[in-house]
Structure 1
Amino acid sequence: MKKLIVIVGPTAVGKTATGISLAKTFHGEVISGDSMQVYKGMDIGTAKVTKEEMDGVPHHLIDIRDPRESFSVADFQAQAKESIGEIHNRGKIPLIVGGTGLYINSVIYDYDFSSSEGDSDFREELEMYAKNYGNEALHEKLKMIDPISYGELHPNNVRRVIRALEVYHVTGKTIGDRPDQPETSPYDATVIGLTMEREKLYERIDLRVDRMIAEGLIEEAKHFYDQGIRNCQSVQAIGYKEIYAYFDGELTKEEAIELLKRNSRRYAKRQLTWFRNKMDITWFSMTTDQEKKLKEIHQFVEGKLF
């Protein structure tokens, strides 16, 4: 089977730098496992890797969508699989690096998004419900029956929300628990998780937000706001929705920044819960002596590749 290295973990834990370090050592190329870095121009708010940080390592699935377009887990899966094949054909090792768990798992286990039976009447009923009561109300229907999808899917991604509700309606199981999802991977996948003591991680998240503001996050968000880009999957992401609330007069600038920090911390907590429940991961704590931990990760990967 084709080798695949995967690096996951919460926001701000150090995935990007770790992935680049491994790619340089083991002749790899990086596939972004982040659902928001696909959007052009959304650089600061998504902590998108810069050309300087790439240090010559090719990166894929970055800047491939207009912010007005949607990008589903099925879209990600198809493009990531294509990139994996192309990277292997070049004699390189693919590394998926990111924090969007459902997207990454769909590739590792080759989820089948088309095989479940459908119920067109039920689907139309949900579409009408969303039109009458709004996307948020439809999204809330997921909360009790499928909290994982509820946390992963944005309310404005109506198609995917409806699909998750339809799968449960038809099969009695959530998308993640469906029996048609393979339990084995088509890849020889090594999944590495980076974690960190909570207090230090939250401190890093707060500092990252401060750095984003200093680097121009508000101006970046204003660019999309002035273009009338609203109610799109892209600008509902953490980092943009809070700033939009400031532009709309719902929050002061200071309140928006504090809310962004709080939402980022809560997202990191949800990420860790998801990874621990849904993926087979070898964890490395980056709380102290990160240089030593990086050497351990390199040794671990070397043992898996050779």
Structure 2
Amino acid sequence: MKPMVILTGPTAVGKTELSIRLAKILDAEIISADSMQVYKKMDIGTAKIMPEEMEGIKHYLVDELDPKEEFHVARFQQMAKDALKEIYAKGKIPLIVGGTGFYIQSLLYDIDFTKEDGDQEYRKQLEEKAKREGNDSLYEMLKQVDPKSTEKIHKNNVKRVIRALEFYKLNGYPISEHNEKEAAKTSPYNFAYFVLNHKRDILYDRINRRVDIMVEQGLIDEVKRLKEEGYEKTMVSMQGIGYRQVFEYLEANLSLEDTIEQIKKDTRHFAKRQLTWFGREKEVCMVDKSQFGSEDEILTYMLTILKEKGIYDGSVKELL
């Protein structure tokens, strides 16, 4: 089986810095499993890794799509599979880095999305209903046909709510049932799945500080520029945390202070949902940063596991 290494965890936990060091040691290339960093022109609000921070490590699915384009799990899977082919052809190891758990699951277990092409007309009707009556109206529809999905999908994640409703209309059974069957599959890869975490108060402090830094770096101007270029708040790309709230601010629905607090609050809730997701995944290796004295110790621990799995065959001590 071909090797695959996954490094994930909640937003702001510190995946990026660690991923670069790990990639250098493993001679890996990175595939981003992030639903927003794939978009061009959206750098600040996505905390996108910049070219100079990549330190020569090739990254895939970063800065590749126009914000007008839709990006969903099936598209991620196809783009990531194309990247995998390239990486394996070079004799390198793919390192999947990002916090979108469903995307990671789709790649790791090769989930079948062939029945999820969708119904464009029905999708448009649902989008118009959301604009007219609000996100709650779609969420209530989903509760009627697929209550399990509403436990995992937030009502403001309109893209996923619509996809679940589309799936039910096309197939006559809930997408949650389909996903459970697919998730029961075994992976075709020899993988190591690391979930980076931290004490809650430290993680939340990191999130709050990150949002403050984003605002200082010009998040408001970034969204303003996108709005001026014709990107609308209903687009999939603009549903990302930070972008959605700043659109509300620009439309005078929120004060700047309330906008910043709302972004912090929504990001903290998102981190909590991410951890719930990763906690349910099979064969994950939880890496609690508070249990280690340094990043070197974390890397030593990870490399030891990779060695046991036959993914890494070098010396652990010499490289740190």
Q: TM-score, normalised by structure 2?
A: 0.86
Partner of 1:60: 60
Distance verdict in 2 for CA 1:37–1:279, change over 3 Å:
farther
Partner of 1:290: 294
The C-alpha deviation readout for 1:172-217, integer Å capped at 9, x for no partner, is 5615644355511111111011011100000000011111111111
Q: Does structure 1 residue 301 correspond to structure 2 residue 303?
A: no
> How many residue pairs end up in the alignment?
302
Partner AA of 1:296 in structure 2: Y
Partner of 2:107: 107
- CA drift at 1:259: 0.6
* Mapping for residues 211-290 of structure 1, pairs under 5 Å: 211-230=213-232, 231-287=234-290, 289-290=293-294
Aligned to 1:191, the other structure's residue is in SS state strand
CA distance in structure 2 between the partners assigned to 1:88 and 1:126 by the alignment: 37
- CA drift at 1:279: 3.9
Contact 2:29/2:94 (<8 A) preserved: yes
The C-alpha deviation readout for 1:107-126, integer Å capped at 9, x for no partner, is 000000125899x8xx9777
CA distance in structure 1 between the partners assigned to 2:103 and 2:42 by the alignment: 19
- CA drift at 1:302: 3.2
Q: Does structure 1 residue 200 correspond to structure 2 residue 202?
A: yes
Distance verdict in 2 for CA 1:141–1:63, change over 3 Å:
same
The C-alpha deviation readout for 1:204-254, integer Å capped at 9, x for no partner, is 000111111111111111111112311101111101111111111011111
**Percent of pairs with identical residues:** 39
CA distance in structure 2 between the partners assigned to 1:46 and 1:176 by the alignment: 30
Aligned to 2:193, the other structure's residue is in SS state strand
Q: Gapped runs of 5+ residues in structure 1?
A: none
* Mapping for residues 1-306 of structure 1, pairs under 5 Å: 1-115=1-115, 128=125, 130-132=127-129, 134=131, 136=135, 137-143=137-143, 144-147=147-150, 150-151=153-154, 154-156=157-159, 160-166=163-169, 170-172=172-174, 174=176, 177-180=179-182, 183-230=185-232, 231-287=234-290, 289-291=293-295, 292-304=297-309, 305=311, 306=313
CA distance in structure 2 between the partners assigned to 1:133 and 1:285 by the alignment: 39
Q: C-alpha root-mean-square deviation of aligned residues, in Å?
A: 2.5
Indicate the larger mover: 46-55 or 200-209: 46-55
Distance verdict in 2 for CA 1:207–1:148, change over 3 Å:
same
Contact 1:148/1:274 (<8 A) preserved: no
- CA drift at 1:152: 9.2
Indicate the larger mover: 254-263 or 127-136: 127-136
Indicate the larger mover: 170-179 or 44-53: 170-179
Contact 2:70/2:236 (<8 A) preserved: yes
Distance verdict in 2 for CA 1:298–1:114, change over 3 Å:
same
Q: TM-score, normalised by structure 1?
A: 0.90
Q: Gapped runs of 5+ residues in structure 2?
A: 314-320
The C-alpha deviation readout for 1:255-288, integer Å capped at 9, x for no partner, is 1001101111010000000111134310111125
Aligned to 1:86, the other structure's residue is in SS state helix
CA distance in structure 2 between the partners assigned to 1:142 and 1:299 by the alignment: 44
Aligned to 2:94, the other structure's residue is in SS state strand
Distance verdict in 2 for CA 1:42–1:176, change over 3 Å:
farther
Aligned to 2:271, the other structure's residue is in SS state helix
CA distance in structure 2 between the partners assigned to 1:293 and 1:157 by the alignment: 34
Distance verdict in 2 for CA 1:263–1:300, change over 3 Å:
same
Contact 1:68/1:232 (<8 A) preserved: yes
Aligned to 1:20, the other structure's residue is in SS state helix
Indicate the larger mover: 212-221 or 262-271: 212-221
Aligned to 1:44, the other structure's residue is in SS state coil
Partner AA of 1:237 in structure 2: G
CA distance in structure 2 between the partners assigned to 1:202 and 1:248 by the alignment: 28
Distance verdict in 2 for CA 1:81–1:175, change over 3 Å:
farther
Contact 1:205/1:264 (<8 A) preserved: yes
